C-alpha cells in the first residue's frame, strides 16, 4: 500500500480533510482525530487488503506515519 | 472515412455517486443540494457494497451542520425535513451516527444527532433532565448489547447469576420504559440482544449452557413484549438483521473501543430506524408498481408469447413464482399492487386471467397499465386513477433504463432495481421496509378490493348522464358516530395517512386519540360510508372540543376514495346540528395549508362558515372560520345519514 493509497483511505473512510504532508503529524494535531478513528481505519485497511493487522500495538502510536509503517509491515508480511 | 487515429477519445466513465458527493462537499454545495443527496444515496443503496458505501457517505454528510442544510434548502424553495434522534446505550455508539445520517438522508431527512456518553443509558432513562428527555428527540435510541448483562455478573459466574441478572435487567428496562412514556415526548427504541458463542462457551457443562440459552431468549421475548405493553415504545429485533450476515461484533473493537455491536449490524439497525422514522411520520409507501417481463415472469411476453413465459415449472420460472407469492403477500396487507409494462394491454390481461403459472391474478391488482408509453407517465397515470400521490409509490423493474428514467423523472418514487437473477428478486424487494406501518386495520386488508369497486363506481359515473344521476344511483349511506375502541387504530391511521382532505393535518398516534376519547370535553366522531358497491368502512373523522365560546373543530378529514359524494357536507351538517342541540354558541374551525390539502381551502365557506381570521403566510397562512348556527346546511338529498352521537352511560 503506497502512502497515497493510505492517505486516500484515511480521507474516504474517516471523512477527514487530510493534507498529504500530515502523514508525519502527531495525531493530536490532525483535524478532529479521535481514538475510534484508528480502529475504523484498520478495519478499512483489512477490508481492502484481506489481511489482519494487530491493533493492540497500533493504539499506542502517535503519528499516522507510524500507523502506516505498521500497517504496511503487516500487509507485506 | 474514419480511421483508428481520428476516432473520438473514449469518454471518462461518469463519476460514481460517492465521488459526486465528495465533489459537492468540496465545492461547499452539500447543504443547498441536500435533495440531490437522496438520489445519490439511492444509487449507493443499489450497489454491491451498499452498507459500507452508505456509511462512508454518512461520514461525509454527518460533518454538515443540519441548520445550514435547512437554511440553504429553504432558500432554494423547499426546506428539508429534520429529525432529532437521541442516542444512548451501554456501548460506544459513535459508529452509529454515520450510517444513521445516510439512511435518513435517503428519505430526504436531515439527522440532528444527540449522542450521549458511553454507558449512560440507565442514567439517561432515569434522569428526566437527560438529553433523552430534554433534546425534544423524536426518537430516543437506547442501544442494548449483551455486555450490559455480562458486565453485571460476579466473576466468576454461574448460570443462576445470569438468570437473575437477565430477569432484573428486564424489570429495570420495563420500569424505565414506563418512565420514558410518562415524561418523554418521542418514541423510545429498544432492541433485542444477541447471544454470542464467546458467552455460551464460557460455561462448559451443556446443562448450564442450555439454561443460559433459555434465560437469554426469555430476556429477548420480554423486551419484545415491551412494545405491546407501552405506547411509544418500539423494539427492533436484531435477530433477522444478524441472520442477514456480517459479524455481530468485532472482538478488537469490543475490547479496545467498547463498541460491542459491529459496523455492519449497526448499519442494518440504522436502516430499520430510518424506516421507523418514516412510519411515525406516516410516510409509508402505499403502492407497489411492478414491471412484468423478467420481473413477474421469466421471458418477454411480446417476443415469446404466453406459452414462452414461465413463473413455475422451470428453475428460473419457480423463482419468479416465489417472487409473485411475496408480492401477493404484501398486497394482502393493504399495499396496492399495480403493473406498468411495455406490452399490449390485452396480452397482459390474458396472462393474468389464464396463464397457469401466475400467482398474481387480475383481482390482486388495483391497476394494470400495459402500453408503449414511457413508464414515468404511466406511474403518474396510475397515481391519478388511484387518487394518490406518486411519492407514495415503490417501482420495481429489472431494466436499468426504466429504473433510471423513473428515478430521474419522479424522485419521490422509491425504485427497487432488480437484475437478471430472479432468485434475488425477493431480497431486493424487501431490503427496505418501504411499506412498514405501526398497525394494520381491516380496511388495509381489504384495500385492493376497495379500489377495484372504485373502478366499478367509475364505470357507473361514466355511464350516468349527470353527477346528480350518478349520486342518486350510487345509494350512499353515511354513518357519523362516536369513535369506539375498535376503531381507534383505523382512525389514528387515517389522521396519519390522509393528506388531501385533511383540514389541519393534525397527526394523532393511537395514544393521542385515546386521550381525546377519555376527555368529556371532546367530540370525536368517525365517518363510515357504504353504497351499492359495498361497504367503505371508516373513511373519515372529526375531532372537536367544547369550550366556553362554542365547539372548536380541531380537524376534519376524509379518505380521498370518497370525496365529492356529499359525505363531507352530511358530516359537517351533523356536527353543526349537534352543537346547536347542545346549546353551544357557535362552531369554530380552521384550515391549515400544506403542500397537499389546497383542495379543501374553501370547504368551510362552502357549508356556511364565515371567515374570521387569516394569519400571515409566513406564520402558516392558517384560515379561521366561525359558524353562528343560525342557519344549518341541509344534508344532501341523495344520501342516507345515520348518526350515533349519544355518549354511552358511564
Cα–Cα distance between B94 and B58 in angstroms, integer?
12
Residue B153's Cα: distance from chain center in Å?
A: 40
- Sign, CA dihedral B1-B3-B6-B12, equals positive
Would an 8 Å CB–CB cutoff place B28 in contact with chain A?
A: no
A15/B59 CB distance under 8 A = yes
Total domains present in chain A: 1
Helix (H, G, I), strand (E, B) or coil at B622: coil
Would an 8 Å CB–CB cutoff place B59 in contact with chain A?
A: yes
What is the domain extent for residue A26?
A: 3-76
Would an 8 Å CB–CB cutoff place B247 in contact with chain A?
A: no
Would an 8 Å CB–CB cutoff place B120 in contact with chain A?
A: no
pLDDT at B339: 97
Cα–Cα distance between B252 and B270 in angstroms, integer?
22
Q: What's the pLDDT band for B413 if we cut at 50, 70, 90? A: very high
Instruction: Decide if B310 contacts B352 (C-beta within 8 A).
Output: no
Instruction: Decide if B193 contacts B143 (C-beta within 8 A).
Output: no
A47/B52 CB distance under 8 A = yes
Would an 8 Å CB–CB cutoff place B118 in contact with chain A?
A: no
Cα–Cα distance between B639 and B475 in angstroms, integer?
6
pLDDT at B138: 94
Q: Using CB atoms within 10 A of its CB, is residue B160 exposed (0-12), middle (13-18) or buried (19+)?
A: exposed
B257/A36 CB distance under 8 A = yes
pLDDT at B1: 39
- Please check the confidence at residue B6 and state whether its pLDDT lies above 70: no
Torsion of CA B558, B564, B569, B574, to 10 degrees: -50
- Please check the confidence at residue B513 and state whether its pLDDT lies above 50: yes
- Please check the confidence at residue A28 and state whether its pLDDT lies above 80: no
Instruction: Decide if B106 contacts B46 (C-beta within 8 A).
Output: no
What count of Cα atoms within 13 Å lies in the side-chain half-sphere of residue B471? 15
- End-to-end C-alpha distance for chain A, whole angstroms: 12
Cα–Cα distance between B97 and B114 in angstroms, integer?
9
Cα–Cα distance between B489 and B526 in angstroms, integer?
12
Helix (H, G, I), strand (E, B) or coil at B537: strand
B133-147, B188-202, B228-242, B617-631: which range is least confident on average? B617-631
The mean pLDDT value for B300-308 works out to 94
d(CA B60, nearest CA chain A) in Å: 5
- Cell numbers linked to B485: 375502541
Would an 8 Å CB–CB cutoff place B62 in contact with chain A?
A: yes
Helix (H, G, I), strand (E, B) or coil at B48: coil
Helices (H), B306-399: 315-331, 345-354, 375-386
A55/B256 CB distance under 8 A = yes
Helix (H, G, I), strand (E, B) or coil at B99: helix
Cα–Cα distance between B426 and B429 in angstroms, integer?
5
Instruction: Decide if B542 contacts B523 (C-beta within 8 A).
Output: yes
Q: What's the pLDDT band for B596 if we cut at 50, 70, 90? A: confident
pLDDT at A54: 83
Q: Which residue has the cell 448460570?
A: B159
- State the greatest distance between any 2 C-alpha atoms of chain A, in Å, as a whole number: 31
In chain A, % of residues over pLDDT 90? 0
Chosen for mutation from A10, A33, A36 (greatest number of chain B CBs closer than 10 Å) is: A36
Contacts of B260 in chain A (CB under 8 A): none
Cα–Cα distance between B108 and B38 in angstroms, integer?
6
Would an 8 Å CB–CB cutoff place A35 in contact with chain B?
A: yes
pLDDT at B13: 60
Would an 8 Å CB–CB cutoff place A73 in contact with chain B?
A: no
Q: What's the pLDDT band for B477 if we cut at 50, 70, 90? A: very high
DSSP per-residue codes, B270-326: HHHHHHHHHHHTT----EEEE--BTTTBBS-HHHH-GGG-BSSSSHHHHHHHHHHHH
Would an 8 Å CB–CB cutoff place B252 in contact with chain A?
A: yes
Identify which of B65, B19, B66 has the alpha carbon closest to the alpha carbon of residue B43: B19
Helix (H, G, I), strand (E, B) or coil at B535: strand
Backbone angles phi, psi at B250, to 5 degrees: -110, 110
Given A15, A36, A42, which is nearest B94 (Cβ)? A36
Identify which of B565, B567, B437 has the alpha carbon closest to the alpha carbon of residue B492: B437
- Please check the confidence at residue B10 and state whether its pLDDT lies above 70: no
DSSP per-residue codes, A23-73: GGSBGGGSTT--HHHHHHHHHHHHHHH-----HHHHTT--BHHHHHHHHHH
- Please check the confidence at residue B291 and state whether its pLDDT lies above 60: yes
Would an 8 Å CB–CB cutoff place B253 in contact with chain A?
A: yes
Contacts of B98 in chain A (CB under 8 A): 15
Instruction: Decide if B295 contacts B425 (C-beta within 8 A).
Output: yes
Instruction: Decide if A9 contacts A64 (C-beta within 8 A).
Output: no
- Cell numbers linked to B428: 431486493
- End-to-end C-alpha distance for chain B, whole angstroms: 95
In chain B, % of residues over pLDDT 70? 97
pLDDT at B226: 97
User: Is the peptide bond preceding residue B156 cis, with omega within 30 degrees of 0?
Assistant: yes
Which residue is closest to B26 within chain A, CA to CA?
A17
- Please check the confidence at residue B540 and state whether its pLDDT lies above 60: yes
- Cell numbers linked to B616: 400571515
Q: What is the DSSP letter of B410?
A: -
Strand boundaries in B364-521, DSSP class E: 367-371, 393-397, 414-417, 477-482, 501-502
- Please check the confidence at residue B319 and state whether its pLDDT lies above 90: yes
Cα–Cα distance between B242 and B26 in angstroms, integer?
36
For B97-112, how does the pLDDT look when each residue is reduced to its tens digit (9 = 90+)?
999 999 999 998 999 9
The mean pLDDT value for B597-607 works out to 91
- Please check the confidence at residue B396 and state whether its pLDDT lies above 70: yes
Would an 8 Å CB–CB cutoff place B91 in contact with chain A?
A: no
For A30-55, how does the pLDDT look when each residue is reduced to its tens digit (9 = 90+)?
656 666 778 888 888 888 888 888 88
A47/B56 CB distance under 8 A = no
For B345-383, how does the pLDDT look when each residue is reduced to its tens digit (9 = 90+)?
999 999 999 999 999 999 999 999 999 999 999 999 999
B95/A36 CB distance under 8 A = yes
Q: What is the DSSP letter of B633?
A: P
Contacts of A42 in chain B (CB under 8 A): 252
Helix (H, G, I), strand (E, B) or coil at B569: helix
A35/B252 CB distance under 8 A = no
Size of interface A-B (CB pairs under 8 A): 34
Cα–Cα distance between B254 and B151 in angstroms, integer?
13
For B71-95, how does the pLDDT look when each residue is reduced to its tens digit (9 = 90+)?
988 888 778 889 999 999 999 898 8
CATH code of A55's domain = 1.10.1200.10
Identify which of A73, A75, A77, A71 has the alpha carbon closest to the alpha carbon of residue A23: A71
Would an 8 Å CB–CB cutoff place B43 in contact with chain A?
A: no
Q: What's the pLDDT band for B155 if we cut at 50, 70, 90? A: very high
Which residue is closest to B55 within chain A, CA to CA?
A13
Cα–Cα distance between B120 and B104 in angstroms, integer?
24
pLDDT at B645: 84
What does each C-alpha distance from B3 to B8, B10, B11, B501, B553 come to in angstroms? 10, 15, 18, 65, 78
Given B60, B252, B259, which is nearest A55 (Cβ)? B252
Helix (H, G, I), strand (E, B) or coil at B567: helix
Identify which of A40, B78, A49, A76 has the alpha carbon closest to the alpha carbon of residue A58: A40
Contacts of A51 in chain B (CB under 8 A): none
Would an 8 Å CB–CB cutoff place A13 in contact with chain B?
A: yes
Please list, in sequence order, all residues whose beta carbon lies within 8 angstroms of the beta carbon of residue B615, skipping any fewer than 6 positions away: B621, B622
d(CA A4, nearest CA chain B) in Å: 17
pLDDT at B3: 42
B59/A14 CB distance under 8 A = yes
A39/B52 CB distance under 8 A = no
Chosen for mutation from B63, B249, B256 (greatest number of chain A CBs closer than 10 Å) is: B256
Q: Which of residues 260-299 of B touch A (CB under 8 A)?
A: 263
Q: What's the pLDDT band for B253 if we cut at 50, 70, 90? A: confident
- Please check the confidence at residue B4 and state whether its pLDDT lies above 50: no
Q: Which residue has the cell 440482544?
A: B193
B59/A35 CB distance under 8 A = no
Instruction: Decide if B570 contacts B641 (C-beta within 8 A).
Output: yes
B311-325, B503-517, B558-572: which range is least confident on average? B558-572
Would an 8 Å CB–CB cutoff place A59 in contact with chain B?
A: yes
pLDDT at A32: 61
Cα–Cα distance between B515 and B484 in angstroms, integer?
13
pLDDT at B8: 46
- Cell numbers linked to B20: 459526486
Contacts of A43 in chain B (CB under 8 A): 250, 253, 263
- Please check the confidence at residue B650 and state whether its pLDDT lies above 70: no
Chosen for mutation from A40, A48, A56, A57 (greatest number of chain B CBs closer than 10 Å) is: A40
Given B52, B63, B257, which is nearest A39 (Cβ)? B257
Q: What's the pLDDT band for B647 if we cut at 50, 70, 90? A: low
Contacts of A59 in chain B (CB under 8 A): 256
Cα–Cα distance between B624 and B628 in angstroms, integer?
13
- Please check the confidence at residue B600 and state whether its pLDDT lies above 50: yes
- Indicate the average pLDDT of chain B: 91
Amino acid at each position: 500500500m503506497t502512502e497515497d493509497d493510505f492517505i486516500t483511505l484515511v480521507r474516504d473512510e474517516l471523512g477527514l480533510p487530510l493534507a498529504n504532508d500530515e502523514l508525519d503529524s502527531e495525531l493530536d494535531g490532525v483535524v478532529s482525530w479521535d481514538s475510534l478513528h484508528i480502529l475504523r481505519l484498520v478495519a478499512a485497511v483489512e477490508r481492502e487488503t484481506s489481511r489482519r493487522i494487530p491493533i493492540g500495538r497500533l493504539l499506542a502510536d502517535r503519528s499516522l506515519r507510524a500507523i502506516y509503517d505498521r500497517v504496511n509491515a503487516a500487509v507485506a508480511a | 472515412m474514419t480511421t483508428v487515429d481520428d476516432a473520438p477519445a473514449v469518454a471518462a466513465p461518469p463519476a460514481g455517486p460517492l465521488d459526486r458527493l465528495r465533489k459537492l462537499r468540496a465545492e461547499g454545495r452539500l447543504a443547498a443540494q441536500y435533495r440531490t443527496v437522496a438520489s445519490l444515496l439511492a444509487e449507493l443503496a443499489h450497489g454491491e457494497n451498499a452498507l459500507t458505501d452508505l456509511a462512508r457517505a454518512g461520514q461525509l454528510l454527518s460533518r454538515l451542520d443540519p441548520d445550514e442544510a435547512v437554511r440553504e434548502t429553504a432558500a432554494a424553495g423547499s426546506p428539508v425535513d429534520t429529525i432529532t434522534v437521541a442516542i444512548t446505550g451501554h456501548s460506544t455508539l459513535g459508529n452509529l451516527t454515520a450510517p444513521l445520517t445516510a439512511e435518513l438522508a435517503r428519505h430526504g431527512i436531515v439527522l440532528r444527532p444527540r449522542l450521549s456518553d458511553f454507558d449512560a443509558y440507565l442514567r439517561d432513562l432515569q434522569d428526566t433532565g437527560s438529553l433523552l428527555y430534554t433534546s425534544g428527540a423524536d426518537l430516543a435510541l437506547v442501544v442494548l448489547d449483551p455486555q450490559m448483562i455480562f458486565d453485571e455478573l460476579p466473576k466468576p459466574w454461574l448460570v443462576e447469576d445470569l438468570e437473575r441478572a437477565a430477569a432484573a435487567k428486564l424489570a429495570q428496562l420495563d420500569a424505565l420504559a414506563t418512565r420514558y412514556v410518562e415524561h418523554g415526548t418521542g418514541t423510545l427504541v429498544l432492541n433485542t440482544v444477541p447471544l454470542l458463542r464467546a458467552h455460551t462457551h464460557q460455561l462448559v457443562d451443556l446443562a448450564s449452557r442450555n439454561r443460559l440459552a433459555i434465560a437469554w431468549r426469555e430476556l429477548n421475548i420480554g423486551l419484545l413484549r415491551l412494545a405491546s405493553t407501552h405506547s411509544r415504545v418500539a423494539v427492533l429485533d436484531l435477530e433477522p438483521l444478524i441472520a442477514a450476515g456480517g459479524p455481530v461484533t468485532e472482538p478488537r473493537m469490543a475490547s479496545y473501543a467498547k463498541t460491542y455491536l459491529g459496523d455492519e449490524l449497526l448499519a442494518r439497525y440504522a436502516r430499520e430506524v430510518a424506516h421507523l422514522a418514516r412510519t411515525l411520520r406516516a410516510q409509508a409507501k402505499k403502492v407497489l408498481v411492478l414491471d412484468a417481463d423478467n420481473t413477474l415472469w421469466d421471458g418477454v411476453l411480446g417476443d415469446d408469447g404466453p406459452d414462452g413465459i414461465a413463473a413455475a415449472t422451470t428453475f428460473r420460472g419457480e423463482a419468479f413464482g416465489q417472487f409473485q407469492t411475496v408480492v401477493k403477500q404484501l398486497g394482502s396487507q393493504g399495499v396496492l399492487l399495480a403493473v406498468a409494462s411495455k406490452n399490449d394491454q390485452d396480452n397482459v390481461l390474458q396472462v393474468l386471467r389464464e396463464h397457469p403459472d401466475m400467482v398474481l391474478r387480475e383481482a390482486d391488482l388495483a391497476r394494470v397499465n400495459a402500453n408503449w408509453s414511457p413508464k414515468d407517465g404511466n406511474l403518474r397515470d396510475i397515481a391519478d386513477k388511484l387518487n394518490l400521490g406518486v411519492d407514495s409509490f415503490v417501482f420495481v423493474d429489472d431494466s436499468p433504463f426504466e429504473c433510471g428514467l423513473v428515478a430521474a423523472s419522479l424522485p419521490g418514487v422509491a425504485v427497487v432495481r432488480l437484475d437478471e437473477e430472479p432468485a434475488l428478486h425477493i431480497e431486493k424487494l424487501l431490503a427496505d421496509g418501504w411499506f412498514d406501518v405501526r398497525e394494520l386495520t381491516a380496511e388495509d386488508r381489504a384495500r385492493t378490493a376497495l379500489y377495484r369497486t372504485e373502478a366499478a363506481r367509475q364505470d357507473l359515473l361514466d355511464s350516468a348522464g349527470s353527477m346528480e344521476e350518478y349520486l342518486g344511483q350510487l345509494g350512499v349511506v353515511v354513518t357519523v358516530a362516536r369513535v369506539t375502541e375498535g376503531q381507534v387504530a383505523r382512525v389514528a391511521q387515517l389522521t396519519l395517512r390522509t393528506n388531501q382532505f385533511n383540514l389541519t393535518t393534525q397527526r394523532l398516534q393511537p395514544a393521542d386519540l385515546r386521550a381525546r376519547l377519555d376527555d368529556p370535553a371532546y367530540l370525536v366522531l368517525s365517518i363510515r360510508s357504504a353504497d351499492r358497491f359495498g361497504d367503505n368502512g371508516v373513511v373519515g373523522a372529526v375531532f372537536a372540543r367544547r369550550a366556553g365560546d362554542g365547539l372548536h373543530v380541531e380537524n376534519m378529514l376524509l379518505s380521498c376514495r370518497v370525496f365529492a359524494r356529499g359525505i363531507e357536507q352530511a358530516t359537517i351538517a351533523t356536527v353543526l346540528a349537534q352543537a346547536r342541540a347542545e346549546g353551544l354558541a357557535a362552531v369554530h374551525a380552521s384550515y391549515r395549508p400544506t403542500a397537499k390539502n389546497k383542495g379543501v381551502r374553501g370547504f368551510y365557506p362552502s357549508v356556511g362558515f364565515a371567515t374570521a381570521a387569516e394569519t400571515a403566510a409566513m406564520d402558516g397562512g392558517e384560515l379561521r372560520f366561525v359558524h353562528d348556527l343560525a342557519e344549518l346546511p341541509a344534508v344532501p338529498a341523495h344520501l342516507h345519514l345515520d348518526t350515533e352521537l349519544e355518549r354511552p352511560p358511564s
